[in-house]
């Protein structure tokens, strides 16, 4: 193997440090030097990957212990809080983009008007067959303006809905943080992509606050029905709601029966009309409740 000096290390230094490197047993500065060498060296340094390939197996030598039940809820709450920060940033960017679009639209309008006026003023000669062209451009511009306007409105609607969803998520998290409350993360039973959300259960399941997103809108008499399943008992309907084109739902009910302390599961189905007493499959989303009381 030819020797190369990359990242302050020779190839043979990297060989010498490889085992300690893959096990994380180097000082941070040494590890960075190895990384820099590997990134820049023309040699493949297969020995590093070979030794490294053993390392993940070491995880399987660890005795498995159960984490505290509240950890899951803590992580979910932290992720939700994180999402809100990210959403705020995104929202600022969206607002900025909407403002930019509005400015661009204004500029376009200023440019288009004189052109249309020129066309209207011109008469005879070549202008006669130029007019339809200008008119066509004017029409396209007008359509573009309408489209942009509609897009702005739609954007504003989305931002408002996002804000409402975000606030509702925060409220659900707050409720779930109360003593004795539980949090359920609703997702697809088979783990596929689809509607998801959160629900806070208080009073042993007597009150439920739920927030969902990515739901298919309801039409006609259709409703989404929420079900509370206690242990192995039959699902009990606790309330229904409709969903508009935004796909989000914010729902609160206190119709649930007091539970005896068995595990609670929340499920959501789509029903042809309100008042279902048994759920119509498939389950749209479901989640087990977990919290301080578990």
Closest to another protein by CB, 141 vs 263, is 263
Q: Can you name the residues that pair with 6 across neighbouring β-strands?
A: 9
C-beta atoms surrounding 236 within 10 Å: 15
Selected range binding another protein among 50-58, 106-114, 141-149, 250-258, rule: CB under 8 A: 50-58
Phi, then psi, of 225 in degrees rounded to 5:
-115, 135
Rule CB under 8 A: say whether 192 interacts with another protein. Answer: yes
Please tell me the distance from the alpha carbon of residue 165 to that of residue 207, in angstroms, as a whole number. 19
Q: Is 269 left (phi over 0), alpha (psi -120 to 50) or beta?
A: beta
| Residue 6 DSSP class | E
Shortest reach from residue 68's CB to another protein, in Å: 5
* Angle subtended at Cα 188 by Cα 185 and Cα 191, rounded to the nearest 5 degrees: 100
Q: Which of 4, 6, 10, 26 binds another protein (CB under 8 A)?
A: 26
Q: Which of 108, 188, 207, 253 binds another protein (CB under 8 A)?
A: 188
Binding mask 78-117 for another protein (x = CB under 8 A): xxx-xx--x-------------------------------
Closest to another protein by CB, 131 vs 288, is 288
Q: Which of 11, 41, 186, 284 binds another protein (CB under 8 A)?
A: 186
Rule CB under 8 A: say whether 74 interacts with another protein. Answer: yes
Q: Which of 1, 2, 27, 42 binds another protein (CB under 8 A)?
A: 27
The CA-atom distances, in angstroms, between 153 and each of 147, 149, 158 are 10, 6, 9
Shortest reach from residue 56's CB to another protein, in Å: 4
Shortest reach from residue 282's CB to another protein, in Å: 16
Calculate the CA dihedral of residues 83, 84, 88, 89 and round it to 10 degrees: -30
Binding mask 196-215 for another protein (x = CB under 8 A): xxx-----------------
Which pair of tokens denotes residue 224? 């989404």
Please tell me the distance from the alpha carbon of residue 156 to that of residue 233, in angstroms, as a whole number. 44
How many residues form the binding site for another protein (CB under 8 A)? 60
Q: What are the DSSP E strand ranges found in 143-277? A: 182-186, 196-202, 207-213, 223-230, 236-241, 249-253, 264-271
Please tell me the distance from the alpha carbon of residue 147 to that of residue 243, in angstroms, as a whole number. 25
Q: Which of 16, 88, 106, 244 binds another protein (CB under 8 A)?
A: 16
Is residue 15 within a helix (H) or strand (E), and if so which, with residue range? helix 11-22
Shortest reach from residue 54's CB to another protein, in Å: 5
Q: Which of 12, 50, 106, 160 binds another protein (CB under 8 A)?
A: 50
Rule CB under 8 A: say whether 57 interacts with another protein. Answer: yes
- Residue among 57, 82, 60, 141 nearest 106 (CA): 141
Rule CB under 8 A: say whether 68 interacts with another protein. Answer: yes
Q: Is 87 left (phi over 0), alpha (psi -120 to 50) or beta?
A: alpha
Q: Which of 56, 114, 125, 179 binds another protein (CB under 8 A)?
A: 56
Shortest reach from residue 199's CB to another protein, in Å: 12
Judged by the rule CB under 8 A, the positions of this chain that interact with another protein are 16-29, 35, 48-69, 71-72, 74-76, 78-80, 82-83, 86, 185-188, 191-193, 196-198, 285, 287
């Amino acid at each position: 193997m030819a020797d190369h000096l990359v990242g302050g290390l020779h190839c043979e230094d990297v060989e010498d440090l490889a085992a300690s490197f893959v096990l994380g047993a180097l000082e941070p500065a040494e590890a960075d030097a190895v990384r820099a060498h590997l990134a820049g060296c023309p040699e493949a340094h297969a020995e590093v990957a070979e030794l490294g390939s053993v390392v993940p197996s070491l995880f399987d030598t660890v005795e498995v212990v159960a984490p505290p039940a509240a950890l899951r809820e803590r992580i979910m709450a932290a992720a939700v809080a994180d999402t809100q920060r990210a959403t705020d940033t995104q929202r600022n960017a969206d607002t900025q983009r909407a403002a930019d679009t509005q400015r661009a639209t204004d500029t376009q309008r200023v440019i288009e008007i004189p052109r249309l006026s020129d066309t209207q003023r011109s008469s005879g000669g070549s202008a006669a067959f130029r007019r339809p062209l200008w008119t066509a451009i004017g029409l396209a511009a007008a359509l573009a303006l309408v489209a942009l306007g509609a897009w702005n409105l739609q954007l504003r609607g989305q931002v408002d809905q996002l804000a409402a969803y975000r606030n509702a998520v925060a409220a659900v998290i707050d409720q779930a943080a109360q003593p004795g409350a539980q949090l359920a993360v609703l997702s697809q039973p088979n783990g596929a992509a689809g509607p998801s959300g959160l629900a806070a259960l208080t009073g042993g399941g007597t009150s439920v606050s739920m927030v969902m997103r990515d739901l298919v809108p309801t039409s006609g008499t259709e409703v989404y029905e929420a079900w509370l399943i206690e242990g192995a008992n039959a699902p009990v309907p606790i309330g229904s709601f409709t969903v508009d084109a935004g796909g989000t739902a914010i729902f609160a009910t206190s119709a649930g029966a007091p539970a005896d302390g068995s595990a609670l599961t929340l499920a959501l189905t789509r029903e042809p009309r309100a008042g279902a007493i048994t759920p119509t499959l498939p389950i749209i989303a479901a989640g087990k409740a977990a919290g301080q009381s578990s």
